[in-house]
Amino acid sequence: MKIGFLGMGVMGLPMAKNVVKKSGCPVLGYDVAQKQLDAFAAAGGTPVTDPAEIYKQCDVILQILPTHPIIRNSVEQAVRYGKPGNIIVDLSSTAPDIILELNETAKAAGMFLLDSPVSGGNPMAIAGTLAIMTGGDREAFEKVKPILSCMGSPVYTGGPASGSVTKLVNNIIAGAYLVVIAEAYAFAAKAGIDLQTTFDATRGGFAGGPVYENKVPKLIRRDYEPGARVAVHRKDILNAKHYAHHMGVDTPMTDVVLMVMDWMNDNGHIDEDQIAMVKYYEEKMGVRVGGEN
């Protein structure tokens, strides 16, 4: 079995490296940035300069791509150049309605499309411990499960688009959690209490958990280097709002999250780490949070 990997950014590169390291299969890779291709090659992968080589040669095509037009084009090109029986695994955060449309395109060509978004950010991508939520044909999932397991813990969520919906559930929850962490620590700073002490006192309580452990130290240090960018998370929140509208339901908590993320976008912070959303509260509360006060 030959594997192709398209998109080697903050998440994609460590994921691709884990597939190279653990799968035992030849892995071709493509990215628009030469630096990423060089890093992929250094890890033992085979870089290509034309993504069509992946579509033509590979039995399993893994893609983690940034926008819906790029995702759509990649699947269409995989169908154009590939062969019946190929399995396309979209690891991107793609809207459910687009997945359903592309699933029909793949199905008509005798191929399989699995919507398989991931969660855990760059640290878990490096560690190979991502949460992986996969919808689509069950038999196709079982065939690629060993490959997905190189990157984390795959769970079969059901039929087409169920993985994408599950990811939206995850990121609705994570978005609200991240915003309220930012709000709470701005509240703490305004009250004049020590943030590190606050973290030490609360990390073992009900507020604690993996996100808390990862993001609060970054907030305290004012480290906004992205493990996961606001821009990427905002895309999921917009997808969630779109699908909520499709279902005819209100999501008031998600509205608040989107308001804060929109502020980040409008004020030039959209490519920073999610915990940089504390900047919204710094402006609203008139306080500096973390770093040297």
Pick the catalytic residue from 17, 167, 218, 235: 167
Which stretches of the chain score pLDDT less than 70? 292-293
CATH 1.10.1040.10 domain residues, the chain: 165-285
Beta strands in the chain (DSSP E): 3-6, 27-30, 46-47, 60-63, 87-90, 112-115, 118-119, 130-135, 152-158
Give the pLDDT confidence score for residue 292 in this predicted structure. 64
Does residue 241 carry a catalytic annotation? no
- Contact assessment for residue 276 and residue 269, using Cβ atoms and an 8 Å cutoff: yes
Angle in degrees, 0-180, between the axes of helices 162-191 and 278-285, rounded to the nearest 10: 40
Give the pLDDT confidence score for residue 257 in this predicted structure. 98
CATH 3.40.50.720 domain residues, the chain: 3-159
Nearest CA to 163 out of 154, 174, 172 is that of 154
Give the pLDDT confidence score for residue 241 in this predicted structure. 96
* Topology given in CATH for the domain delimited by 165-285: N-(1-d-carboxylethyl)-l-norvaline Dehydrogenase; domain 2 (1.10.1040)
For domain 3-159, the question of CATH label 1.10.630.10 is answered with: no
Q: What is the pTM (predicted TM-score) of this model?
A: 0.89
- Contact assessment for residue 253 and residue 222, using Cβ atoms and an 8 Å cutoff: no
Give the pLDDT confidence score for residue 221 in this predicted structure. 97
Give the pLDDT confidence score for residue 120 in this predicted structure. 86
Number of residues that make up the chain: 293
DSSP H or E segment with residue 153 = strand 152-158
